[in-house]
Chain A
Amino acid sequence: MSPSENLVENFADVEDTQNPSQRATLAEEPAGPVNLGAIEERLRRHAVDFYSSVGTAPLTIINSGSELQPERPREVLIYRPKQKVRNEALRVLQEWEGIVLTVSESPGGSEDFFVAELHDLTNQNEAESAEFSLDEVYIDQRNLVKPGAPFHWIIGYRDRNGTRERVSQIVFRRLPAWREEDIDEAREEARVLAESIRFE
């Protein structure tokens, strides 16, 4: 059987793809005599119509004849997801600036927790201290939970697509690393300050 006779084709489902998010594929059809010219023309018309509507360059049209590959042709991917308008807002009810004071880790990690000093950013109330399970921290941030590490704890409502959920977020600040220049500069300032202090 010639390669052209093995051409996978069937555009019955392509005709339904007025919606750009639909995927057009070349479906298999039982082997047998086929009208390559008609199929190719339908493919070409479809591709031109679709890409005209979205304004992008067309895919390479697989030609008949010697350019046909004996293997199964690739899928023609014309998927373009619909742009969704994000409708989400976080309404903050209470926010603290926190500093990790101690971290306690148990064997097996079942009771890991940290103690933090909290400063009320919403109402400027007195400082508080709190104990949190490490489970309250998103897993990708747990390596940041160390004594002295600053974080924000936010309580509020998240409104998203017509629904509301109450949230508690502990977010650690990814602070820059100290640089050697910072340390050298601090050391030089220290030297100047130390020399300015004269004990009796």
Chain B
Amino acid sequence: MPSQSDLNDYGSPPTPDQVEIVLLGPGYGESVVVHIGGGNWLIVDSCIGRDSETPASLNYLHAIGIEPNSSVKLIVSSHWHDDHVKGLGQVVEVCTSAKFSCSTAMTKIEFLTYVNLHERLNLRRATSGVEEIKKVLIALSNRTPIRAIENRRLEVFEPAVTGHGQECEVWSLSPSDVQIDKFIDEIVDLIPKDTEAMRRASAEGPNHVAVVLWIKVGNTNILLGSDLEETGVGTGWSAIVNSTARPSGKAEVFKVPHHGSNTSHNNDVWSKMIVAPNPVAILSPFVLGSARLPSKDDANRILDYTDYAFLTSNHRQTRRTRRPPTVERTIREAAKSMRPSLSPLGGIRLRSRPGLSQGPWSIECFENAEHLSQVS
């Protein structure tokens, strides 16, 4: 259960006929919570906010008075990276009414071998995403997961249950078989060789198998881009844009992939899959050492497509914990820089009633969330 401090003032839940999308992000990690109508919720990925031990998605639902165990109908794990799976095991455990979907890449023997090896490293606190994935996969042996592959309808909600009388479909647009094979080749290279010293698992290389979701509620479409990057012809975003089997239409809401990086950008996605002008673009930042996404250039590029672009968290405002003067003095001498990995959990919430073409979407920002133009 979340503690009192986990429960930000998020107000009341959406009405049964409203569609709601909430992007939560503490500066490292993200989670998307979607209400498709009629009290039916989806959770995509998981993160844990600063000063919390419970997943941000569960905290949000509790804060607005929703019981996750009966209301969440689908959980999607888009990929295995640490910043997208923290707390996912707990989400799967709590949401007992939910189906689970992930790419089959995460159940391949090569990937599971990699997971099994790295979970043996006995670290006190610096655990990685592989431990979380293992928990989820063990839980799945008691459920029947849904395979997320390109152009597959994962779930459908009939008009009778959606509260607004529109049918809702959830589609995965990736990964393709080609992408899964590429991923397995890379994972095989990452499996340690004997006589190689033990190290913690680290995500390396581009995201070939990230699951991109298309949510269709009546005539309203939502594109959740996960962390998929552009990796060349026939893979990545090019494969999705050029697919003739994907759902038709253009999205009004775009969860920008991979924290707005230029490696995930594809012009055709914006021109062929997103409404114009002024769709709503939402994204979470990524900060690791001196690496920061989105950069100012990334932000400007996104703002060329829409004025309605929002970021869940801004690290400018983050202060790390102050320690005794002797320790602080030594930190300044020994480390070139030091910062908290997480900032206070920020959230962007969008609400609309489906059937009204192109909005209007109400947009609310919580905690550190702000307009993308504030990125420096």
Contacts and interface: CB of A to CB of B under 8 A. Distances in A.
Interface in A106-140: 113, 115-121, 123, 125-133, 136
Interface stretch (B300-308, B317-325, B348-356): B317-325
Chain A interface size, as a band, is: 35 or more
A183 B191 contact: yes
Contacts of A115: 288-291
Interface stretch (A22-30, A44-52, A146-154): A146-154
A147 B331 CA distance: 22
A129 B195 CA distance: 29
Contacts of A166: 326, 330
Given A101-B288, A128-B341, A132-B334, A197 B107 contact: yes
Interface in A144-200: 144, 146-150, 153, 155, 166, 168, 170, 174-180, 182-183, 185-187, 189-191, 193-194, 196-200
B177 interface: no
Contacts of B146: 199-200
Contacts of B297: none
Contacts of A183: 113, 117, 191-194
Interface in B36-82: 50-51
B335 A132 contact: yes
A93 B330 CA distance: 11
Contacts of B316: none
B340 A144 contact: no
Given A149-B199, A189-B116, A197-B107, A129 B289 contact: yes
Interface residues of chain A: helix, strand, loop or mixed (majority) = mixed
Interface residues of B, number: 64
Nearest to B99: A200
B333 interface: yes
A4 interface: no
Contact of A99 (B126, B291, B327, B331): B126
Interface string B136-166: 0110110011110000000000000000000
Contact of B340 (A128, A131, A146): A128
Contacts, number: 181
A200 B155 CA distance: 12
B201 interface: yes
Contacts of A116: 289
Contacts of A179: 194
23 contacts: A93-B324, A102-B289, A123-B323, A127-B341, A128-B338, A130-B336, A132-B336, A147-B199, A150-B123, A168-B330, A176-B198, A177-B194, A177-B198, A178-B192, A178-B194, A178-B195, A178-B197, A183-B117, A197-B141, A197-B145, A199-B104, A199-B146, A199-B147
| Closest 9 pairs (CB-CB, A-B) | A148-B199, A115-B289, A190-B112, A119-B125, A186-B116, A130-B338, A175-B198, A196-B141, A127-B341
